[in-house]
Amino acid sequence: MKISELNFTELVSSYDEKFPIYHILNEEGKVDDQEAMDQLNNEELLALMEAITWGRAIDERVILLNRQGALSNYAPGGGQEASQYGAVLALDKKDVFAPTYRDVFAGVKFGLKLSQAFLWYKGHYVANQYPKDLNMYSPNVIVGGTTIQALGNGIAKRMKGEKQVALSLCGDSATSQGDFYEALNFAGVFKANLIAVVQNNGYGISVPTSHQTKAATLAQKAVAAGIPAIRIDGMDPVAVYYTVKKAREYAIENGPVLIENMTYRFGPHTMSDVPKRYRADEEVEEWRQKDPWTNVK
């Protein structure tokens, strides 16, 4: 293109076209990418199904405990299990995991004691007393705080030549924070062994993603940092697991990766939230047709 042909509208549109949403299972749970599926064994697929089933069961139980007053405020994870557990199961125990407050129980599948997960919601100090072999940060309630935490570990692993990665989970609203951009910039410069997973559930509490950014995708925010990025169907646990597994291989040898998981939370932001105030029941029902727990079976 010559500069005399410059069209800024077309230029912005060209950015958006680079980030389609990839999947392995379709909304009916049927395989659309057999080649990718063939690269996973039965043990991996069974572990995924078990983790998501367990995650849904524990989420529903904790909601009841909260309503009974047995636990303090809780951020439900129902609907986001594919994004959470699919990512965690692709890690090695020597990797580093940086979760948010919504990913506490995903930490159990990384090695956190179940009792400590419950104690975290009780605000008990023992919840954060990890054994030395658990390479996990305490769940972060600071929006945008996890990526920059994991960054430090990712840089250290690159400098030491270690064959592990640091993975952070964050929400879409985290990408509106300065810490997130600083983390991506430093990750690119230092070729950090970092996998930054953005769980885009469409809302920052009640603020829709479209009110947080003009960008059509969150994946494209990695472009300025020179980092490869991809958008995944975050309701497809197989696609999430496969992508993080491949990203891990890449990050160890080459540097950081950003993954945007397109997902949805079925419940409220926290148990003190009233989602009917900002989203329609029809929207929730539409996303329930893509339920990762149903599809993975």
Go through 63-95 and write b for each residue having 16 or more CB atoms within 10 A of its CB, e for each that does not: beebeeeebeebbbbbbbbbbbbbbbbbbeeeb
pLDDT tier at 274, thresholds 50, 70, 90: very high
CA distances from 228 to 18, 86, 95 (A): 11, 20, 20
- The mean per-residue pLDDT over the stretch 7-19 comes to 79
> Mean pLDDT across the chain, nearest whole number?
95
Q: Strand locations in 220-270, DSSP E?
A: 229-233, 257-262
The yes-or-no verdict on residue 223 having pLDDT over 70 is: yes
The yes-or-no verdict on residue 127 having pLDDT over 70 is: yes
Rounded to whole angstroms, the Cα distance separating 240 from 169 reads: 13
- The mean per-residue pLDDT over the stretch 116-142 comes to 95
Q: What is the pLDDT of residue 47?
A: 97
Compute the CA torsion angle 104, 105, 107, 113 (nearest 10 deg): 110
Percentage of residues of the chain with pLDDT beyond 90: 89
Which DSSP category does 270 fall into?
Answer: S
Chain centre to alpha carbon of residue 270: 17
| Total residue count of the chain as it appears in this document | 297
The yes-or-no verdict on residue 11 having pLDDT over 90 is: no
- The mean per-residue pLDDT over the stretch 274-284 comes to 96
Name the β-bridge partners of 96: 166
- Average the pLDDT over each of 63-72, 88-97, 163-172 and give the range with the smallest value: 63-72
Count CB neighbours of 179 within 10 A. 18
- pTM equals 0.95
Quick one: 24 exposed, middle or buried, by C-beta within 10 A (0-12, 13-18, 19+)?
A: buried
- The residues annotated as belonging to the active site are 265, 269, 278
Closest CA to 146 of 121, 122, 170, 175: 170
Q: What is the pLDDT of residue 296?
A: 80
Q: What is the pLDDT of residue 71?
A: 87
Q: Residue 144 half-sphere exposure, CB side, CA atoms within 13 Å?
A: 13
- Judge contact between 171 and 201, C-beta under 8 A: yes
- What is 21-296's CATH number? 3.40.50.970
Residue showing tokens 């003009």:
214
- The mean per-residue pLDDT over the stretch 162-183 comes to 98
- The mean per-residue pLDDT over the stretch 163-185 comes to 98
